[in-house]
Structure 1
Amino acid sequence: MQRALRVDVIGRRLCPASLLRGFHEAHPDTELEVVTLFDTAAVRDGSVDASFRAVVDLPEDLAAHWVYDEPIQLLCGPAHPLAGASSVTPAELAGHRLWMPGVVPGTEWGAYYAEFAAAFGLSIDAARPNFGTEVVLDTVAESAAVATLVGTGSRVLWPPGHDLRRVPIEYPVSVYPHSLVWRRDNAHPALAALRTYLSREKRAAGAWRPGWAQTSQTVPSTG
């Protein structure tokens, strides 16, 4: 009997979880095991079949294919100067405190936000300790000076009294480039079906993405 396809979505409220849920709805007979991991070590040792990642560097034993450009948004409280805007440009974020304690050096999301900040002259505050998303949301809701950044596909939940605002970032739209990563010699039959399902998306035209994500991020599998 074929074992379940094990896929890492990083976080269950993040965009990759929604992408995988779409695959499950299209292929309800495919057994899935959903996990949340910090890095790709489990893909390399074979305990996980695939992971959704922004590919900065790719070890030779792994293959990857870009699957989705996720726009990022400003998340702020009702008293923030940008709360009433229908959209903002990346340059308009300059001078505003963007607090993101979950941005960890050495991770692909750390590399993404470092390049995003450098490209538009922004200051991203990754000051810790990190007490979790709820504390960030509490702080943002009460502050006229602190905001954060989230992906459009992130399921961010907050109490009604917080009255938080999700403000699109445009001109250019700034996207987080998700790729599916797997080990080259992985022959799980459901992995091929997942790769085929995820290949339907088109890259966002005219969007800003990091220099390391300008290519298709496609490395053909030899398996």
Structure 2
Amino acid sequence: MDLDLAQVRAFVRAAEGLHFGHAAEELSISQQALSKRIARLESVLGRRLLDRGGQGVRLTEAGRRFLEPARQALAAADLAVAAALDAHRRLRIDVWGHLYAPMRTLARVAALEPRLEPGHGRDLPTVITALLHGDVDAAFGRVHAPLPAGLTHRLVRLEPVDVVFSVDHPLAHAPAVRPAQLRDGVLWSPGALHRLDFLHSFAESFGIRDRAEGANLGLDRFLADLAADTRRFSLLPADVPLPPAPAIRSVPLTDPTPLYAWSLLWRRNGGHPLLDALMSTFVAEAERNRWLEYDPVRDWLPGHHGAGLGAPVAP
């Protein structure tokens, strides 16, 4: 049985979002054309894949079985086209979490593997979409949500986090601060806290009730807003280079030390021939720089207890 990949792609887009209108928009076709493609595919297979009724769109049992192999078939087809058109293209890798400066780590790896083409994603959901659609080959940032079946990731760096606050904060001149000492402060976040998993998990874990949110307008503005209120504090990786700001202090956190988890994210079926080389370079850098050191007594990771740090995990 020969399948029409345009029909398969129409089904996959509709199945992933369970919304015909959104799927049609992504494929730049009309909703009627999308419906016809899926109907033809169902006719060829002799099975209904999607039920469309008053309760919306839902997968049938046959549709659930067909979805993941269909994704893999599309990915293989996309790879075949890419190989035919450009066998030597660079590996496209997006980063996200820009306030935490992911390029600091990626640049060290890219210096050893010059065939990378870094790009910028807005956040984890947009990067996931880009990966699933084949717009990028890999991504680098903090993974904090259940991933679609077609993606996997590997933890490559655990980075200690400092607390930052105004020089007039009561704890500003302490040699170190415990997270428990921050309970009476106001956690300042550059965006809606429920979308910033690391800060949200920290607040919940250490009983920090008072929170304030602002727009993410870059590190300089973030620090200026932080300095404007002597009760505010936030968290940044310890080696993020701060701009000259005499009104700001960065102090180590201890007992425990929070760790920010960086992961490499890619499609399960691989794809780009450089992926293995990229992973090997990350592993070598992690070993050389002790990036994956973790002590559950000394350190804190959101929702993670240290198991399987070298394997694909979701910290």
Shorter-chain TM-score bucket reads 0.7 to 0.9
AA partner of residue 46 (structure 1): G
- What amino acid is aligned across from residue 295 of structure 2 in structure 1? A
Q: Which runs of 4+ in 1 moved over 4 A?
A: 129-132
* Residues 66/138 of structure 1: CA separation in 2 closer, same or farther (3 Å cut): same
Q: In 2 relative to 1, CA 112–147 (structure 1 residues): closer, same or farther, beyond 3 Å?
A: closer
Q: What's the CA shift for 1:38?
A: 1.5
Q: Which has the higher helix share?
A: 2
SS at match of 1:189: coil
User: Secondary structure of 2:257's match?
Assistant: coil
User: Residue in 1 aligned with 2:171?
Assistant: 82
Alignment of 1:34 with 2:119, yes or no, is yes
| Structure 1 segment 89-128 matched on structure 2, within 5 A | 89-105=178-194, 107=195, 110-123=196-209, 125-128=211-214
Change in Cα spacing, 1:153 to 1:192, as seen in structure 2 (3 Å) is farther
* Alignment partner, residue 205 of structure 1: 295
User: Which residue in 1 is equivalent to 2:235?
Assistant: 149
The 8 Å contact of residues 65 and 216 in structure 1, kept in 2 or not, is answered as no
Match of 1:61 among 146, 150, 155: 150
Superposed CA RMSD: 2.4
Assess, with a 3 A threshold, how the Cα gap between structure 1 residues 85 and 103 changes in structure 2: closer, same or farther: farther
TM-score by length of 1: 0.84
> Which of the residues 216, 224, 242 maps onto 1:138?
224
- Contact 2:199–2:235 (CA<8 Å) still a contact in 1? no
CA distance in structure 2 between the aligned counterparts of 1:32 and 1:19, rounded to whole angstroms? 15
Structure with the greater alpha carbon radius of gyration: 2
Cα distance per residue 1:61-87 (max 9 Å; x no partner): 001101111111111121111110111
Quick one: which amino acid aligns to residue 162 of structure 2? Q
Partner of 2:134: 46
Gaps of 5+ in 2: 1-86, 287-291
CA distance in 2, matches of 1:43, 1:195: 17
In structure 1, runs of 5+ residues without a counterpart are: none
Does 2:308 align with 1:216? Answer: yes
Query: What amino acid is the match of 1:163?
Result: A
Q: Once the 2 structures are TM-superposed, how far is the Cα of residue 31 of structure 1 from its aligned partner?
A: 3.9
Q: Is 1:5 paired with 2:91?
A: yes
Contact 1:56 1:213 in 2 (8 A): no
Describe the shift of the 1:204–1:8 C-alpha distance in structure 2 as closer, same or farther (beyond 3 A).
same
Deviation (angstroms), 1:189 = 1.8
Deviations 1:106-150 (A, max 9, x none): x4xx22222221211113624345554333311322432222221
Tell me the matched-pair count. Answer: 214
- Given candidates 260, 264, 274, the residue that maps to 1:180 is 264
Say if 2:95 and 2:118, in contact at 8 Å, map to a contact too. no
Shift of 1:95: 0.5
Q: Residue 82 of structure 1 aligns to a residue in which SS? A: coil
**SS of corresponding position for 2:180:** helix
Percent identity of the aligned residues? Answer: 30
Aligned residues of 2:150 and 2:267 also touching (Cα < 8 A):
yes
Relative distance call for 1:102 and 1:13 in structure 2 (3 A) is closer
Q: TM-score, normalised by structure 2?
A: 0.61
Secondary structure at the counterpart of residue 174 of structure 1: strand
Mean CA deviation greater in 175-184 or 128-137: 128-137
Instruction: Give 2:35's aligned residue.
Output: none
Shift of 1:54: 2.3
Deviations 1:32-84 (A, max 9, x none): 23323322211121111111232431211001101111111111121111110
> Secondary structure of the residue that 1:68 maps to in structure 2?
strand
2:84 is aligned to none
